Structure 1
């Protein structure tokens, strides 16, 4: 048995290293943080009206690469409802991931909380960089099925070039530590084969994916892609809540209306107009919730529904807000017998049965009784280490619903995701949770169990453990329903083929496109941020090509 003094010293060394690493990181002021003020202004400083070639609503995961690309050739305005991530240590370092989500109810939080009608808490990005500034950082390219079933005639060379453009700037290879290595080995023992090592491609088996956290644990969100921009052509306005898309009718009969600009409000309540000039366009990149909401508030959506809200109908588009999806997550969490390093998603097991297994470990300040295994470091609270295994499914097929809660754009819409309404989703969840059970029974997990006085080993669970009888489908299905949560991968609401065409132009409205995950007919399969960033770059290149050809 390990001597108590050695056990305590191990804890002290771990927390001393963590404290020292945090101090080192805090001294590093990179170019991004030092220079963002050169192209970002507060909405209160925006003139009453100004003209641009392109107005991008939403400086998020798609909006930032879109703006960076278009600014190389055109004058671009980005309107972001939140602030900037730089300077917020909880946003900028992986240790703050849970803190940001826990504080999402705060008025000025970079993540905005909402709870679906399913009763599942969720959140959406409200900061420059969007959800890429508040997520778990995992980066992996879309599966092949996404491109085949998306309704888009993709230029695959341009897709690949766009991925690489993103990856050169903000994607890193993670260094696996204790928990991630244990999960990697456990997945292989559980038969999630082959082992593919480090790859950014979506491949069946066990793999290490990319991350937007560097070796210091510092986040590199989509906002960092703005440093590809031609800054003289770019203006980014933060704390700007866009309330309405402005439209004008063309003079000749039967012609479509055209988007001419937007109205937005600053934090002092003053309204501003931003207008497009010449052949310019309004580009919506407000996300799967913000984009259909803004369309409806602008009078673009189902006629009868908008009329019930007394919103003047500018264009009847019945599928706005329809075909809305969220990917369910089911997980188990344990307290290990030793401290673990902070790690977010790095290793993933992609199974042929349609389930993906991911893992994270979090070091959490915790007020615990003195007799626990956690120790007190100098001038620090107690720490609780929590290790998590989670399952998500490819798809999903269950269709949710979307409706307005208010005509105030700052109020979250009402959403219901109908988790597991489609039985195929439920079957995939059962397969995934059974795979978690296989991983937990692997010898690679033994070191994460506590030993009792008789020499037996057992896990210390936080929350419900997996059912003992994992062969019983109904028992496992009940576990899926009882423990469902979100993995923040919602999409849809403005689908290709129903709201936008294959070039992401809104049907029936000129000079208006949607460039974000609301257009996705199917999920990218893996965590979507890589695909959404690629989309921003890809559409920007397409627009430049169109303009050069005179379209």
Structure 2
């Protein structure tokens, strides 16, 4: 006898609730029968919406925007000769790609195509709920990448989540609005070696692109922000929205008492040193803000000259050779891509192809297309279009070390329900989750509005007020006012991106970040097949400098956690638990270094694999983001960073795309 359709729907709904509870961990919440009913209806609404699979004006059948390739040849155009022909083709609808598509299509004379391998984040369950971003990890909305075993980090492979949705990693990250240090961008300009356009990357000139994308919302709770230094008219909402745990406030008070003074705004010409509640990419209703939601609004998507196609995986860039003086140079003229069924299509670009696939997939696509280190391309029998050794080289990332502490305060506003995903979730935690969902839906507040990393402190390892040992042998910072250490606080604790759990109980986390790593790695092809994921080797902790800075960071973290008022929160019952770090202050430098090598993980900030530098210095693009030696091809994403910024990378990636849009449109009208 067939199972009734209603029973199947209920079963699917219960399965969804189990999944949601498995993604979360932490606290009790008030639960009543009416609250449970209301939140169940909310869950059902999200569930039904995600099943529709359609967002107006977004094409999820990418064969409709290109021309089919059969037998290695593109089908004739027939009557529709303009099908598959655009002025600009953008490869990748991630953090930068969405910005470019929106800004370039503001000019009605420019026909723009954006190709994205994933789908709209609007179609993913609870994509706007800030604290549930872990749901994307290891899902079909994640590329599910791993590094090679890290020989300087306990020989472990490291999981590197990468967003496979419109908005890219802005749709799956911790939503921290942070520019880095002003001197980071002056360093970028210096590194250009006097190339034309170099000065445009100095902080004085580049800062206008931060202000251009930003729409800051002042907060009564944080009144000391100078709003004259904040952007007010951009598409991206930022501010102090999102949950702030009572424990987070204790962390900031402890920083004050430990010598890390408050800085009301990390994102000004005054610099980023100090401690503060972080500003977030969260709006006034408590929703995640992504570059898809900000830039690809219904009004933008409705533009006649903009086409956005999802579920389109680009496999290579297409080139022709054009005469320039006495030599022929390659020119990008289109791209080839496949849909979910593996069918092959091509589109043509009259003016430019722009690769915005991120610091991992941008070098992969370039190398698959014949742009990269000639010796490596030869290993995979890929014909060389341009010999650029810098493609896939100089991979940089911010390593993070997670430290765990038992919390005696049991502040219930700080935590999410705590089911282990490897066990059947309890009814109690499902109901707790339902109540939190209802609170979030009605008010936009509560722990579900938390970005998890709620507050941070930025310091220099050479600061004599914090470190009596004196400066290290090498100063890796971009300037005297720039940090090389970040410590951030989370009102819950997690292991390996939430894949593993602490024993049952109440915990908070402190985390140290190496902001200016000297260890650099590579992205390389596994084969000539675009299906095979790239080989990622960040070479974590391959220099003593990196270990030394992280040991100092651990010392400062330990001092903060043992400073009031945070010290009183640490539960002595956890002193003997091996996973906890209550006795960090009693460990030797060598013991801390061993712990660091065992625990190091990514902070999700890969950069610099197609750097903006002179070609002879290993650069891939010039200050106009044009690929050296190739016409009609640019790269616009975090891979062009000459060196990693001393902070979170979403803001600079958006600003790079804003500047790139201006550069591109200006180039179209140069006589």
Selected match of 1:356 from 486, 491, 502: 486
Distance 2:368 2:292 in 1: 27
Task: State the Cα distance separating 1:393 from its structure 2 match.
Answer: 1.4
Mapped to 2, the partners of 1:537 and 1:40 lie a distance apart of: 24
Residue 13 of structure 1: which of 22, 30, 37 is its match?
30
CA distance in 1: counterparts of 2:655 and 2:275, whole angstroms = 24
SS at 2:364 equivalent: helix
Tell me the equivalent position of 2:296.
226
CA distance in 1, matches of 2:56, 2:588: 58
Q: Which SS does the other structure have where 2:199 is aligned? A: coil
1:227-266 to 2 correspondence within 5 Å?
227=297, 229=300, 231-251=303-323, 253-266=326-339
Runs of 5+ unmatched residues, structure 2: 1-26, 68-82, 151-156, 193-197, 216-235, 416-446, 462-483, 614-618
Q: Does 1:154 align with 2:219?
A: no
Partner residue in 1 for 2:227: none
Match of 2:61 among 42, 45, 48: 42
Aligned partner of 2:230 in structure 1 is none
SS in 1 for 2:132: helix
> Aligned residue for 2:20?
none
Cα distance in 1 for residues equivalent to 2:664 and 2:332: 16
Partner residue in 1 for 2:514: 393
Matched, 1:109 2:176: no
Question: Which stretch shifts more, 10-19 or 506-515?
Answer: 10-19
Matches of 1:238 and 1:529, distance apart in 2: 22
1:173 paired to 2:233: no
Answer whether contact 2:245 2:491 (CA < 8 A) is retained: no
Secondary structure in 2 matching 1:249:
strand
Measured in 1, the distance between the counterparts of 2:38 and 2:208 equals 35
Query: Given that residues 551 and 592 in structure 2 are in contact (C-alpha distance below 8 angstroms), is that contact kept between their aligned partners in structure 1?
Result: yes
- Which among 270, 276, 294 is matched to residue 349 of structure 2? 276
Distance in 1 (CA, whole Å) between partners of 2:64 and 2:159 is 35
Question: Which residue of 176, 201, 219 corresponds with 1:138?
Answer: 176
Matched-pair contact (CA < 8 Å) for 1:117–1:415: no
SS in structure 2 of the partner of residue 329 of structure 1: strand
The 1:117–1:20 alpha-carbon spacing in structure 2 relative to 1, beyond 3 Å, is farther
Supply the distance in 1 between the matched residues of 2:280 and 2:342 (Cα, whole angstroms): 38
- For the 8 Å contact 1:333–1:461, the answer to whether it is kept is no
Which residue pairs with 2:118 in the alignment? 82
* CA root-mean-square deviation: 3.2
Q: Are 2:91 and 1:91 equivalent residues in the alignment?
A: no
* CA–CA separation in structure 1 for the residues paired with 2:161 and 2:284: 27
SS in 1 for 2:90: strand
Give the conservation status (yes or no) of the 8 Å contact 1:262–1:275: yes
1:460–1:18: structure 2 CA closer, same or farther, 3 Å change rule?
farther
Deviation for aligned residue 1:144: 1.6
**Could you tell me whether the CA contact under 8 Å between 2:180 and 2:267 is conserved in 1?**
no
Helix, strand or coil for the counterpart of 2:547? helix
Select the residue among 272, 278, 297 that pairs with 1:203.
272
Please say if 1:509 is aligned against 2:630.
Answer: yes
Which sections of structure 1, spanning at least 5 residues, go unmatched? 1-9, 374-384, 453-457
The reply to whether residue 304 of structure 1 matches residue 372 of structure 2 is no
Q: CA–CA distance in 2 between the matches of 1:136 and 1:21?
A: 28
Q: In 2 relative to 1, CA 535–462 (structure 1 residues): closer, same or farther, beyond 3 Å?
A: farther
| 87-96 vs 129-138, which moves further | 87-96
Equivalent residue for 1:290, pick from 354, 361, 381: 361
Aligned residue among 316, 322, 325 for 2:387: 316
User: TM-score of the superposition, structure 2-length normalised?
Assistant: 0.71
Distance in 1 between residues matched to 2:58 and 2:92, nearest whole Å: 15
Asked if 2 retains the 8 angstrom alpha-carbon contact of 1:336 and 1:459, the reply is no
Alpha-carbon distance in structure 1 between the residues aligned to 2:369 and 2:44: 46
Greater strand fraction, Structure 1 or Structure 2 = 1
1:477 corresponds to which of 583, 587, 593: 593
Find 2:560's aligned residue among 439, 442, 446: 439
Work out whether residues 92 and 357 of structure 2, in 8 Å CA contact, stay in contact via their aligned partners in 1: yes
CA distance in 2, matches of 1:363, 1:427: 25
Stretch deviating more after TM superposition (293-302 or 246-255): 246-255
